[in-house]
């Protein structure tokens, strides 16, 4: 299954190995904010690529890129 960003339509490929895809947060309050920004009603299966986040949106000292708790794309 190819991962596709719901904002820009960019797909995961060998040409973009540093691109990370994030699903909607589990926290219902933050998820609702994401859905409002994304103009979507349901977050199931939605992915947002790392192009839509700033470097400071990520936790430091993690092996893989993890978003901070309250970050909105």
pLDDT in tens, the chain (73 residues): 789 999 999 998 878 888 999 999 999 999 999 999 999 999 999 999 999 999 999 998 878 899 999 999 9
What pLDDT is attached to residue 16? 81
For the chain, what is the domain count?
A: 1
What pLDDT is attached to residue 17? 82
Selection from 5, 31, 37 nearest residue 20 by Cα: 5
Q: How far apart are CA 70 and CA 1, in angstroms?
A: 28
Q: State pTM to two decimals.
A: 0.89
What pLDDT is attached to residue 1? 75
């Amino acid at each position: 299954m190819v991962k596709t960003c719901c904002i820009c339509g960019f797909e995961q490929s060998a040409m973009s190995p540093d691109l990370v895809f994030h699903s909607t947060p589990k926290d219902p309050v933050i998820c609702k904010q994401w859905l409002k920004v994304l103009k979507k009603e349901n977050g199931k299966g939605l992915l947002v690529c790392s192009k839509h986040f700033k470097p400071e949106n990520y936790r430091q000292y993690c092996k893989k890129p993890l978003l901070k708790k309250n970050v909105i794309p």
